[in-house]
Amino acid sequence: MRLLFPLLLAAILVVATTGSEEEFLNQIHALQPRYGGGGTPVQGLSCLSWRLSVEAHNIIDWKTVPQACKDYVGHYMLGHQYRKDSEAVVDEALVYAQSLQLGGDGKDLWVFDIDETTLSNLPYYAKHGFGVEPYNSTLFNLWVDDGKAPALPESLKLYGKLLSLGLKVVFITGRPESQRNVTTKNLHKAGYHTWEKLILKESSYTGYTAVAYKSSERKMLEKDGYRIAGNIGDQWSDILGTYVGNRTFKLPDPMYYIS
């Protein structure tokens, strides 16, 4: 079993270099996840229990995935369960969105995060690892600058349904303002064709936590007369703080933690 993951990873990397990003996305999500615990990484927890505690926000401020859970997290992210978990979140968001009574003035909003919410960076993590090593901003920014991140299919589905219901979409991302052009092009390429605002992190927010930064931007949206009906992200910092909206939805992401 220990030889299985390296062989699968090698296979998908061949796809990444020879096929389109869409083909790569389909390939990595077709793999089966491994449900094994893979050791006792934190206070005697199995890797499955560790991931549950991360998603429930019981384990916070962690820097890297425990080494013993490297294969487990990789197989989860590359397998069907990650997609099923994402689909479950989006299905609940859709039920809620369809129940809304909109104001009819174009001021009802849904806020989306970008990385691991709107766009999937799985091709990058499949190549560079699943959160065991410390975050490498240089390598990740090179990936972002390529503008090839595919859409997380479940989020793209939600996006389309929200627009059809008459909601406006706002993206709030921790990406810096210097990445506006490439982010705009990547969103369009991935299928996100229109939005009300694309908010990137300006230099004036240097030193701010993600919670403080995103709370401040949501506050400004509401001051401009918008109503935040829903808010979805992969990090707890996307949906905590103030002016979070009437309902929040947390997508799975056991690869990294942003405060």
Q: In this predicted model, what pLDDT tens digit does every residue of 111-129 receive, in sequence order?
A: 999 999 999 999 999 999 9
- Rounded mean pLDDT, 157-172: 98
- Residue 40: what pLDDT? 67
Give yes or no for residue 4 having a pLDDT over 50: no
Residue 239: Cβ within 10 Å count: 21
Give yes or no for residue 34 having a pLDDT over 50: no
Domains of the chain: 4-250 (3.40.50.1000)
Instruction: Label residue 148 by pLDDT band (50, 70, 90).
Output: very high
Whole-angstrom distance, CA of residue 194 vs CA of residue 57: 32
Q: Phi first, then psi: give them for residue 2, nearest 5 degrees.
A: -70, -20
Residue type at 159? Y
Q: Phi first, then psi: give them for residue 252, nearest 5 degrees.
A: -70, 145
Structure tokens at 157: 């589905």
Give yes or no for residue 45 having a pLDDT over 80: no
Instruction: Label residue 256 by pLDDT band (50, 70, 90).
Output: very high
Q: String of b and e for 184-204 (b: at least 16 CB within 10 Å)?
A: bebbeebebeebebbbbbeee
> Considering the chain, what is the average pLDDT of its residues?
88
Instruction: Label residue 44 by pLDDT band (50, 70, 90).
Output: low
- Rounded mean pLDDT, 95-100: 98
Instruction: Label residue 19 by pLDDT band (50, 70, 90).
Output: very low
